[in-house]
Structure 1
Amino acid sequence: MLLSTSTTLLTFDSMVMSLKKALAKVLVSYYAFAGEVVSNSVGEPELLCNNRGVDFVEAAADVELQCINFYNPDESVERKLVPKKKHGVLAIQVTSLKCGGIVVACTFDHRIADAYSTNMFLVSWAEMAQSTKPIKPKTITTTNKPCFRRSLLSPRHPGSIHPSLDDMYIPISKLPPPSATTTKPLLS
């Protein structure tokens, strides 16, 4: 099915191409999403920014948008809208629907980015994909530009715990044993 705007016809292929071009441009700033998580020499997970890329899947569903139950999509599309993340940080699936609409779904590694940071990435990607003007590096708004400055976390050196916290918790072993007369069911 063809969707039209004032000057161009939008097909599934043209929308996917636009999404891919915008994704490539946004990944310049959000380069961590194009990497992969590997084990370092001591077996800890480590982000390898190797420009691996993003798993991008194109799919088709024989269902109309109005027939998808988004509260329980398994009923109508049987878990086929969300991509399986294999090795990279981010996996994307664009699914064409019978009515001509599309669904864009993402899966990402929560060890690399939280939901807020991923949302900033998605907003930047959407802005880039909707742009009808040539994309310039400053197109990403400053509120959506990522920040990888680790110094902002400023942990305590050396780590310390205030002594007042020592009395806040009592080990179970220090509690007196319950007596038989005080033990009552909580609900009667």
Structure 2
Amino acid sequence: MKVRKESSRIVKPSYDGTPPPTTNYIPLSVFDKVTYNTHIAVIYAYRPPTPPNVTVELGLQKALSVYREWAGRLREDVNGDPVILLNDEGVRFVEASVDSTLDQAMPFKPSASLLSLHPSLKGVVELVQVQLTRFTCGSLVVGFTAHHHVADGHSTSNFLVAWGQACRGLDINPLPFHDRTIFSPRDPPRFEFEHRGIEYTGKNLKKDYPLGDNIMEDIVVHKVHFTLEFLGKLKAKASSMNGGNKPYSTFESLVAHLWRAITKARALGGYETTHVRISVNGRMRLNPRVPPEYFGNLVLWAFPTAKVKDLLREPLPYAAKLIHDAVTKVNNNYFKSFIDFANHKAEEEDMVPTADMNKSVLCPNLEVDSWLRGHDVSSTILHRGWKHRCFHSSIPG
């Protein structure tokens, strides 16, 4: 598949009335600063009918006027603290084409060829990049990259929906909640949980682990489709020993199954320790609750952990309970303990985030990201009812 780049330009917000000042800035919250310092790429594929590029561009301009952070730039304030400068310098907008039909290119497989369907992630100053790639059959692939310091998956999904509403001439609803100063530490602070080695680590302990060719050659990409019938039986089996309590979720049940299956396939030693890194959304866990429209990062991580011999010897409910309990632990108290630690201890002890794209979650561990909720609205990005396929690009590049 050869992608031909035809144009590349900067697209800026379009305002009704007088534009806002371009000197304001938004300080990054502790949740923004602890997450991955990188761009994340997503690819959406649509079959015709699709709107012309100009409609997509105009919708993007309108959405950026509401989500101004994306059109800004990452900077530092006078104290050296990271901020988002709302200078409206805009996002990168690329138009491209392929001399084949989408059917001829499908199914997309995770490979280096996917990198041509979204702008490069190297040396990017724009916080969002968009690439529209047209196929001869009228299909459209939208490549979208966004800087993780600005927003998590939940917030980015809200933006994509707003972009879709703007493309269809609708009012953006609901509007985002922009205040990132709501995460104040308690007085006095309470460090109820251990955050060293979880969200933070010492600078002298942090090492770079580049993804060389030798590592990439050892990675096997495997796509699996689980039927609803299989998932139903798996959920019932995973919940069969939880004492009549609420059944484990489909996500918890499936991750438990995969954790055991992958660990068994790896033929690890029985006394080796394995864990799963799972993202946990804090919007519904903090008290008082943070509005789902909150725009920014609000994610911490759960780390269910087990000895290999226990994970494989015990039945599926054992792994499901480990996952459920670890996720449940990342509750209101945990989030507030993190806020206190991030404000009082992390800088004092010269600590840095453990979230690092230069490190790979490889054997004996796993990393799991759920798209069951945050991205199930992606079909509304550009046009209601469009058939689409969604791909997450995690290939270094």
In the superposition, the TM-score normalised over structure 2's length comes to 0.34
Question: How big is the shift at 1:50?
Answer: 0.4
**Residue of structure 1 equivalent to 2:173:** 141
Partner of 2:53: 16
| Residue type of the alignment partner of 1:156 | R
Superimposed CA distance per residue, residues 93-114 of structure 1 (whole angstroms, 9 cap, x where no aligned partner)? 1111122211111100000111
Matched position secondary structure for 1:153: coil
5 Å-filtered alignment, 1:5-154, equals 15-41=52-78, 43-66=80-103, 67-72=105-110, 74=112, 77-85=113-121, 86-131=124-169, 139-142=171-174, 145-154=175-184
| Counterpart check, 1:155 vs 2:185 | yes
Gaps of 5+ in 2: 1-46, 195-268, 272-397
Code of the residue aligned with 2:66 in structure 1: it is: S
Give the direction of change, closer, same or farther, for the CA distance of 1:65–1:41 in structure 2 (3 Å limit).
Answer: same
AA of the residue aligned to 1:116: H
Counterpart CA distance in 2 for 1:42 and 1:61 is 48
* Alignment check: 8 A CA contact 2:48 2:138 kept: no
Q: Give the whole-Å Cα distance in 2 for the aligned partners of 1:42 and 1:52.
A: 23
Query: Given the superposition, is the C-alpha separation of residues 72 and 151 from structure 1 closer, same or farther in structure 2, using an over 3 Å criterion?
Result: closer
Runs of 5+ consecutive residues of structure 1 not aligned to the other structure: 167-184
What percent identity do the matched residue pairs reach? 30
CA-CA distance at 1:62 after TM superposition = 2.4
CA apart distance, 1:155: 2.9
- Which is greater in Rg? 1
Q: Secondary structure at the match of 1:96?
A: strand
Rate the CA distance shift 1:101–1:186 in 2: closer, same or farther, 3 A: closer
Paired with 1:40 and 1:117, the residues of 2 have a C-alpha distance of 24
Name the SS of the counterpart of 1:20 in structure 2. helix
Distance 1:73 1:186, change over 3 A: closer
Distance 2:48 2:155 in 1: 33
SS in structure 1 opposite 2:130? Answer: strand
Larger RCO: Structure 1 or Structure 2 (Cα < 8 Å, ≥ 6 residues apart)? 2
* TM-superposed deviation, 1:151: 4.6
Cα pair distance change 1:62/1:39, threshold 3 Å? farther
State the one-letter code of the partner of 1:153. F
Q: What is the CA distance between 1:38 and its match in structure 2?
A: 2.3
Query: C-alpha displacement at 1:68, in angstroms?
Result: 2.5
Q: In 1, Cα distance between the equivalents of 2:107 and 2:115?
A: 12
Q: If the length of structure 1 is used for normalisation, what is the TM-score?
A: 0.68
Deviation at 1:153, TM superposition (A): 2.6
Indicate how the Cα distance of structure 1 residues 78 and 128 shifts in structure 2: closer, same or farther if over 3 A, else same.
Answer: closer
1:181 maps to what in 2?
none
1:78 is displaced (CA, Å) by 4.9
1:166-185 paired onto structure 2 within 5 Å:
none
User: Secondary structure in 2 aligned to 1:156?
Assistant: coil
- Residues 48, 139 of structure 2: 8 Å contact kept: no
User: How many residue pairs were aligned?
Assistant: 149
Residues 39-90 of structure 1 deviation map (CA, whole Å, 9 limit, x = unaligned): 445554321110000110111122321222323254xx45210112420111
CA distance in 2, matches of 1:112, 1:73: 27
2:190, 2:65 → 1: CA distance? 39
2: CA distance, partners of 1:48 / 1:22: 22
Distance 1:4 1:71 in 2: 22
